[in-house]
């Protein structure tokens, strides 16, 4: 799914599990769509277990800390397998 955070001009692309927790997250900022985060929950957990969490977070960011359904009002929209949104709006990029 994807959503837009207009206050910061950030597009969020999210992969969620069956319980709506983010397992992968990419954030693109500004009109140039500059990548500012590309985090994986599994990789984050491995970094935490191996004592490299600060390095991981400074390089890749973090995934959302609560389920998408409990998140802020960013109006997430599902994406199809080809990357287009179900609303008919073409993907960013």
Residue 88 lies in a domain: no
H/E element holding 67? none
Residue 30 lies in a domain: yes
**pLDDT of the residue at 68:** 82
pTM as predicted: 0.77
Tens-digit pLDDT profile for residues 40-55 = 999 999 999 999 999 9
**pLDDT of the residue at 90:** 44
The tokens of 66 are what?
């609560």
Structural domain containing residue 37: 2-70
Is 44 in contact with 52 (CB distance < 8 Å)?
A: no
Is 89 in contact with 3 (CB distance < 8 Å)?
A: no
The tokens of 59 are what?
């390089």
Tens-digit pLDDT profile for residues 14-30 = 999 999 899 999 999 99
Residue 79 lies in a domain: no
């Amino acid at each position: 799914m994807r959503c837009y955070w207009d206050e910061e001009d950030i597009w969020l692309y999210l992969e969620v599990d069956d319980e709506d927790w983010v397992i992968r997250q990419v954030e693109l900022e500004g009109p140039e769509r500059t990548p500012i985060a590309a985090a994986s929950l599994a990789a984050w957990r491995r970094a935490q277990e191996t004592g490299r969490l600060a390095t991981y977070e400074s390089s890749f960011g973090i995934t959302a800390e609560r389920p998408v359904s409990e998140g802020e009002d960013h109006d997430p929209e599902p994406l199809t397998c080809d990357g287009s949104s179900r609303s008919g709006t073409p993907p960013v990029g």
